[in-house]
Amino acid sequence: MATIPLMEPAYKGSQGPVFFAAGFRPFFLFAAIQAAVMLPLWLLAFAGILPVGPNWNPVVWHSHAMVFGFAGAAVGGFLLTAVPNWTNSHHVSGKPLMALFGLWLAGRVAIALAGMLPPVLVAVIDLGYLPLLAFLLAKPLIEAGKWRNIVFLPILGVLWLAGLCAHIEALTGKVVGLKGVTLGIFVLLLMIAIVGGRIIPSFTQNWLRMQGRPVDVAPVGWIETGGAGAVVALAGLAQVFLPSSPVAGVLLLLAAAVHAWRLSGWHGLKTVSNPILVVLHVGYAWMVLGFALLGLSAFIEALPASAALHALTAGSVATMVIGVMSRAALGHAGHPLVVAKATVWAYGLISAGAMLRVVAPVIPDGMMALTMVGGAVWTLGWILYVVVYFPVCTKPRADGRPG
What's at 152, amino acid-wise? F
| Rounded Cα–Cα distance for residues 116 and 54 (Å) | 9
Phi then psi dihedrals of residue 49, to 5 deg? -90, -40
- Using CA atoms, how far residue 79 sits from 88, 113, 158, 268, in Å, is 14, 28, 16, 25
Residues of the chain with pLDDT under 70: 1-15
Q: In this predicted structure, what is the pLDDT of residue 2?
A: 39
DSSP state of 92: P
Q: Which of 290, 293, 287, 355 is nearest to 321 (CA)?
A: 287
Q: In this predicted structure, what is the pLDDT of residue 11?
A: 54
- Whole-model pTM: value is 0.95
What is the DSSP annotation of 303-321? S-HHHHHHIIIIIIIHHHH
| Rounded Cα–Cα distance for residues 399 and 117 (Å) | 45
Q: Which of 134, 130, 135, 157 is nearest to 69 (CA)?
A: 130
Q: In this predicted structure, what is the pLDDT of residue 402?
A: 77
Sketch out the chain's domains with CATH numbers.
18-394 (1.20.210.10)
| Rounded Cα–Cα distance for residues 142 and 210 (Å) | 35
Phi then psi dihedrals of residue 326, to 5 deg? -65, -35
Q: In this predicted structure, what is the pLDDT of residue 15?
A: 60
Instruction: Count Cβ neighbours within 10 Å for each residue of 299-315 and write b for 16 or more, e otherwise.
Output: eeeebbbbbbbbbbbbb
